[in-house]
Amino acid sequence: MVMEEFPAKKLNGFLVLLSVLVLLGLSVYLIVLGAGPAPDLWIHVGWVTLVVLIIPSSGLTIVPPNHGQVVTFFGKYIGSIRTSGFWFVTPLSDRQRVSLQVRNFKTRTLKVNDAEGNPVEVAAVIVFRVVDTEKAILEVENYEEFVEIQSKTALRQIAAKYPYDLFGEDPRAVSLRGDCDVIARELHDDLQTRLALAGLEVIDARLTHLAYSTEVANAMLQRQQASAILAAKQKIVDGAVGIAQLAVTQINAQAGVELSAYEKVAMINNLLVSIVSDKAAQPVINVDLRSLLPELEEAMGKRESAGGTASAEATDSD
């Protein structure tokens, strides 16, 4: 049967302490009085009063700020004290102190297989506090150990539910690395359900460490780099095609030159190579030698004529 926390009956501790001190003084007076010519009865009354004062003194307790006490009387829960101060509760009762402060718990790094079977290392930090002192002390054996075990269980379950990362898959899918807020909310809700039995409130729960395990880290890094390079190349090619199309359009519109299909293909090919290539492009100038052939033949003829004239003059001189 799960019980709920309720306030324990208490009195102002200073008033009870003052009453105890008064009765203590009276008992001492009776003992001293019995040691004189007075009857021995006063000695017995004084000692009985002194022994009886031990019982109410056991009910005095101090509650620090942001702390509480669970009060049990001979094995029965009789309430909790959540108000700080000096109080008097049922004498001979057992009081267990519990902190109501906000606390942090960081899990150890766990090795878990994600949804795709890849080993990953995960760790999380849990922010919680006690909201029900009766459950925290009486419903579980050790609520701090309970938080540790349940946090590991929830973290393993969440990490095994999603892949570490998405590689060109559905962008609406959830991954451990790309959807930190979604993972944090789900981890928070799962832990709150688990820790409610111990009277705890989960304020926040987030991953603090996420990485591939050492045996697959290098291979996964190469996969990520290849995906990034492929995406960058695809974007460069898209831009290069757009630039080539724009160049052809502007040449036709502004220069008034209608390029042939062969010339368009050649120019687009050159632009794509120069833009997509990782190395600096080296320009190549194409020259139509057929248009220069008549001029070249004329120059060669003049040279031959000049050579023949020079040979004839040399012969005459001989």
Check if the beta carbon of residue 113 is closer than 8 Å to that of residue 120. yes
pLDDT of residue 133: 94
Q: pLDDT category, 277, cuts 50, 70, 90?
A: low
Two structure tokens written together for 242: 């757009």
Judge whether residue 190 has pLDDT over 90: yes
Question: Residue 157 — pLDDT band, cuts 50, 70, 90?
Answer: very high
State mean pLDDT over 249-265.
Answer: 66
pLDDT in tens, 199-242: 999 999 999 988 887 766 566 666 666 666 666 667 777 776 77
For the ranges 60-74, 232-246, 250-264, the one whose mean pLDDT is highest: 60-74
Straight-line distance from the first to the last Cα atom of the chain, in angstroms, rounded to the nearest whole number: 140
pLDDT, averaged across the chain: 79
Single-letter amino acid code for the residue at 43: I
Phi and psi at residue 92, to the nearest 5°: 65, 15
Q: Which of 90-99, 145-154, 221-230, 263-272 has the lowest mean pLDDT?
A: 221-230
Encoded tokens for 162: 């999603």
Give the burial class of 117: count Cβ atoms within 10 A of its Cβ; 0-12 exposed, 13-18 middle, 19 or more buried. Answer: exposed
Between 134 and 32, residue with greater pLDDT: 134
Instruction: Indicate the range of 190-199, 207-216, 293-302, 305-314 predicted with least confidence.
Output: 305-314
Give the residue, 49 or 161, on which the prediction is more confident: 161
